[in-house]
Amino acid sequence: MKRTHNILNIILSIIQIIFILPALILENLAKKKMGVIRYLIFKKEEFSSGIFNANNLIIYKWILLFISIIIIIIFIVNMKKKLKCKINFFIIILLNIILFLLVSYESIFNLQAYHFFIIEIFIIIIIEYIKLFINIFSNR
């Protein structure tokens, strides 16, 4: 049973690494290829008027802040216990902070594939939560 959880953890970690690659590749190609930069500008306009409009970004910030506070409280409460999932808590807190900064300060980062980074980090956070729950339930 424990071996199955370890294999599942490794597979999910590989999926997380694979998910961050497309945005990095798009960001790199945006500097070299005109077609890629046109596509990213089109998608930026599309996302900005859709799921990443100003009102939704405010909602996303509050949700991220709320989830981060809950995870930090759970982490502090369980700090004295010897849990295998402490690293999962740390990674989730770190990813929440990164995503909060990306959502809050779009103009500072000046990324062409900005919206893709947000979507990918959000998916990675969800996968990290799945890994956290797997680790919590495998330790019981």
pLDDT one-digit tens code per residue, 1-36: 677 877 888 888 889 889 889 888 988 888 888 888
Handedness of CA 64, 47, 126, 7 (dihedral sign): negative
Per DSSP, the three-state class of 84 is coil
How many H helices and E strands in the chain?
A: 6, 0
Give the count of alpha carbons within 13 A of 47, CB side only. Answer: 17
pTM: 0.81
- Structural contact between residues 102 and 118, judged by C-beta atoms closer than 8 angstroms: yes
Instruction: Convert the pLDDT of each residue in 81-131 to its tens digit.
Output: 766 667 777 888 888 888 888 777 767 667 888 888 888 888 988 888 888
Instruction: Convert the pLDDT of each residue in 54-75 to its tens digit.
Output: 888 889 888 888 888 888 887 7
Q: What are phi and psi of 129, to 5 degrees?
A: -65, -40
